[in-house]
Structure 1
């Protein structure tokens, strides 16, 4: 398994501490992200967490981008890709999205990494999602646009949050906001997530249905 491989420098001088494993490096990075936030992660901070010198850390990981890719791969390594036995194409997409979101909730702060580094970190899941959409009947451009929408919503939504606006502090709210803001307290994070994915899948189903209708018309 890649996560347990030894990450070793080219040579180890006498008296040097034992080589680190990829698991140790990623565990240290995840601990920093979990307790201090993604912005706190740096090669200097990683070396402190590992109890090694900063130059020693560079012997195991070439730069922060490589470190982030290792972290991203670890986060998504346990996401299982569904197959035809799990249901139709839209069910398979929802399963992948839900499984990714489970990992994001287990590792707070990782969404920002994946938003930027998914292409470099885990093409396995990108390939699976795109293949499912192609098989469903979406055109190639639609597949690219649909994946971009899923990616942006799934990872980017962690960077957006709504909070209640006290009406007493904002007496001059526009009528639209005045009407909906009282309901904000009734909504939870899962409500936003489920509504967004439901709307997205509804749109993809409509596209697939329209593509099939056009294909049937061409055959006729």
Structure 2
């Protein structure tokens, strides 16, 4: 019987990501990844203990190419905006992984390195440890929420349309705002919301 070929974490993560890109996150299983690799399901457990560890490797693979160096020559607000934009771009290429970036944000090495950079920018801007903690959590919440809203809400456009069609005499502001929201591109929405958050961080005591 031929000896199973040696597999690296890169091999495993790439196969898992292929499954997610093709079949969605619901299609990810140890069996599906093993099939993608051309090995028996039980053989996969020689390389990774469970699906959770496999998911973490996928997150690290997706974010591996994200430059964690702060944009040079920019004020701290623009540095943070650049760091968030880079993650948004990387994850947008594999939208099925959005939930994994939320689930594994504390255990992914790539997320840890990115978070360390963000905290470094905040520290250099004079944020105290408590304010850094609050700011990092706010930035992560905004980033993951924006990603979920953009990629995991396929009916969001229909929902906005339904709100825009509400009777204006009963919901003048909601229907009018929804009509305007329908015309806002996703990239503009992300940047405008981030600017609001960064303005709040700028105004708050550090």
Q: TM-score, normalised by structure 2?
A: 0.85
Q: Does the C-alpha gap of structure 1 residues 167 and 195 become closer, same or farther in structure 2, counting only changes over 3 Å?
A: closer
Matching of residues 158-177 of structure 1 within 5 Å: 158-160=147-149, 161=153, 162-163=156-157, 164-166=160-162, 170-171=166-167, 174-177=171-174
Q: Corresponding residue for 1:10?
A: none
Report SS of the residue matched to 1:186.
coil
Q: Does the C-alpha gap of structure 1 residues 72 and 182 become closer, same or farther in structure 2, counting only changes over 3 Å?
A: same
| Off by >6 Å, runs of 4+ in structure 1 | none
Deviation readout 1:127-166 (Å, 9 max, x if unpaired): 1111211221112111111111111111222322432324
Aligned-residue offset at 1:105: 1.3
Q: Corresponding residue for 1:29?
A: 16
Q: Does the C-alpha gap of structure 1 residues 56 and 198 become closer, same or farther in structure 2, counting only changes over 3 Å?
A: same
Structure 2 residue 129 is the aligned partner of structure 1 residue 129:
no
Q: Corresponding residue for 1:205?
A: 202
5+ unaligned residues in a row in structure 1: which ranges? 1-13, 212-220
Q: Corresponding residue for 2:180?
A: 183
Report SS of the residue matched to 1:200.
helix
Report SS of the residue matched to 1:165.
helix
RMSD: 2.1
Q: Which has the larger radius of gyration?
A: 1
Q: Corresponding residue for 1:41?
A: 28
Q: TM-score, normalised by structure 1?
A: 0.80
Deviation readout 1:193-220 (Å, 9 max, x if unpaired): 111111111111112xx44xxxxxxxxx
Contact kept? 1:43, 1:57, Cα under 8 Å: yes
Aligned-residue offset at 1:106: 1.5
Contact kept? 1:97, 1:154, Cα under 8 Å: yes
Aligned-residue offset at 1:190: 0.8
Q: Does the C-alpha gap of structure 1 residues 147 and 168 become closer, same or farther in structure 2, counting only changes over 3 Å?
A: closer
In structure 2, distance between residues paired with 1:70 and 1:168: 42
Q: Corresponding residue for 1:217?
A: none
Q: Does the C-alpha gap of structure 1 residues 23 and 171 become closer, same or farther in structure 2, counting only changes over 3 Å?
A: same
Matching of residues 148-167 of structure 1 within 5 Å: 148-160=137-149, 161=153, 162-163=156-157, 164-166=160-162
Aligned-residue offset at 1:168: 9.3
